[in-house]
Amino acid sequence: MKPIYLSIQQQETGRRIKKLLTENGYTVKEIQGAMGFENPQAIYKWISGKSLPSLDNFIILSRLLHTSIENILVIDGDIAMLWRRLEKWKIKLIVSGIISMDLKVI
């Protein structure tokens, strides 16, 4: 079996954490309280992409945000998945005659 190499996109993960906090109506102060932190610095570092939560804190975040750790993390595989989706859309648009092969609108 070949090894699998993944790269966590730290800044993108921070943006995703911030987005999920907003979508779920949480403030940094509320997350600080739920995590039992004395100050919010760690959370600000997460959402700015300067650091990542520990595994324990990822588990707590995933439960608070009603999602999986995999949905919080942004890994290089997510970028590859996006490109595959874009390619599928491009093919659909070409087949339907909306755009040409050189991506010009018809």
Residue 5 lies in a domain: no
In this structure, the answer to whether residues 82 and 31 fall within a common structural domain is: no
In this structure, the answer to whether residues 39 and 21 fall within a common structural domain is: yes
In this structure, the answer to whether residues 70 and 96 fall within a common structural domain is: no
Total domains in the chain come to 2
Cα first-last separation, the chain: 46
In this structure, the answer to whether residues 67 and 17 fall within a common structural domain is: yes
The pair of three-digit structure tokens given for residue 29, joined into one six-digit string: 């102060």
In this structure, the answer to whether residues 67 and 87 fall within a common structural domain is: no
Low-confidence ranges of the chain (pLDDT < 70): 1-5, 77-83, 99-106
**How many residues are there in the chain?**
106
In this structure, the answer to whether residues 26 and 67 fall within a common structural domain is: yes
**pTM score, two decimals?**
0.69
In this structure, the answer to whether residues 59 and 83 fall within a common structural domain is: no
Q: Which domain holds residue 94?
A: 76-106
Element (H, E) at 85: helix 76-95
pLDDT given for residue 103 in this prediction: 61
pLDDT given for residue 76 in this prediction: 80
In this structure, the answer to whether residues 89 and 67 fall within a common structural domain is: no
25 φψ region: left (φ > 0), alpha (ψ -120 to 50), beta (else):
left
